[in-house]
Structure 1
């Protein structure tokens, strides 16, 4: 196994998810780590309008935005490993002992065919590998809808995701719900609502990055 890993590292060396620099091991290069838009400790945890608690380590701007776009739209799937590690650390800091299973916000079947992967699933699987567990596929997206990023109105974003997710039985589960980016929180809130309707005891949310609220309000009007 170590020989195989060495060969794979030679053919596909680990790279920084933000600048693409080749590294000795999976992670974030020191330069990017020092310049990333880290959220200050007191702001990493907040509540969605629905009351669901959510956490994220980074603001969705500058290098963080660049890295997530590389993962989401440019096929840089390897970025999910170090980004998933950020999610794992953030969840451990804020929600340790409060969840017993992990799932993710799914893309639609059409989007999955087009892209070839689900970035939130990759992030969830990466985080779970550090905990030596596997995430559960608890949600599916029943219909393909316009991307949330294409909608500027917050009400339109809420309507865009209303009743489009379906959950397997989540009876009694305490769930950590993973996504890549939280802007208005409409998608996470709707997925959490769907899981609670399916019997979940509780739902907590974690994302790699959160859009600064002043930018949400300047571009997304209630």
Structure 2
């Protein structure tokens, strides 16, 4: 992707780094070493059912991938969203090419947005869309600041925790939607958002994330 002059200036002032090992790069992306050693998901396991939809992701949520996502989420490191968003874009193109005409994201609550300063899923969606010369559209809002999913380990409890806390915004009807989030663990959050989008008249919904968790026990601080 061609860099704008402002992007090039920012690269000089704040050199892009590999989100997984922190080494300085010439342009945003993943360093050659990490490209070879990251826990890439085997092709036949890249997609996971989430409610009425399916979620694709390129990486397992472990080791350096977990550290990179936690850094993005909790340590005010929005710069990591660009290379991670590129991975989401690449995965989405490989698995869902031609299956969506609009991109949206799983939003955080207003309270968490104020505290964190940004919405990491929105950043990922924006960076992914920049690879396609388009912009994501807000099609969901979070209406309640429910307890963090990371405090719950049982799948049933996680499903109950997100029930009714998301609401579809106008614009979903008749659209084929790519829904982006950072991590898919049990799929409860994505599944609830998918349900809301379909209830609002969406024609089709597919999902993408940076990483999938393959452990039944959910790590703390994995989700908002």
- What's 2:210 paired with? 208
| Distance in 2 (alpha carbons) for counterparts of 1:107 and 1:58 | 22
Instruction: Output one character per residue of 1:138-172: Cα deviation in whole Å (capped at 9) or x when no partner.
Output: 10000101111111121110011000111113110
- Give 1:175's aligned residue: 177
State the match for 1:131 in structure 2: 132
Q: CA deviation at 1:2?
A: 5.4
Change beyond 3 A, Cα 1:104–1:217: same
Q: Deviations over 1:36-68 (max 9, x none)?
A: 1100111112322x2411100000001110111
Instruction: Name the counterpart of 2:75.
Output: 74
162 and 4 in structure 1: CA distance in 2 versus 1, 3 angstrom threshold? closer
Deviation above 3 Å: which 4+ runs of structure 1?
A: 1-6, 217-220
CA contact (8 A) 1:106 1:141 kept: yes
Checking the alignment, whether the CA contact within 8 Å between 1:32 and 1:63 is kept in structure 2 is no
User: Matches of 1:99 and 1:22 in 2, distance apart?
Assistant: 34
8 Å contact kept, 2:52–2:194: no
Q: CA deviation at 1:7?
A: 2.7
Between the two proteins, the alignment pairs up a number of residues equal to 217
Tell whether 2:32 aligns with 1:30.
yes
Q: Which residue number in structure 2 is paired with residue 47 of structure 1?
A: 49
Q: Superposed, which structure 2 residues align to 1:134-173 within 5 Å?
A: 134-169=135-170, 170-173=172-175
Structure 1 residue runs of 5 or longer lacking an equivalent are none
TM-score, normalised to structure 1, is 0.94
Q: Return 5+ residue gaps in structure 2 as ranges.
A: none
- Find the residue that maps to 1:155 and give its secondary structure: helix
- Distance in 1, Cα, partners of 2:218 & 2:6: 50
Could you say which residue in structure 2 is the equivalent of 1:87? 88
The equivalent residue for 1:57 is: 58
Question: 2:179 is paired with a residue of what secondary structure?
Answer: strand
CA distance in 2, matches of 1:139, 1:216: 28
How many angstroms apart in 1 are the aligned matches of 2:55 and 2:6? 38
Alpha-carbon distance between aligned partners in 2 of 1:23 and 1:202, rounded to the nearest angstrom: 38
**1: distance between equivalents of 2:65 and 2:83?**
12
Secondary structure of the residue aligned to 2:135 is coil
Greater helix content = 1
* Deviation sequence 1:103-141 (CA, Å, 0-9, x none): 000000000000000000000000000001110001000
Residue 21 in 1 paired to residue 23 in 2?
Answer: yes
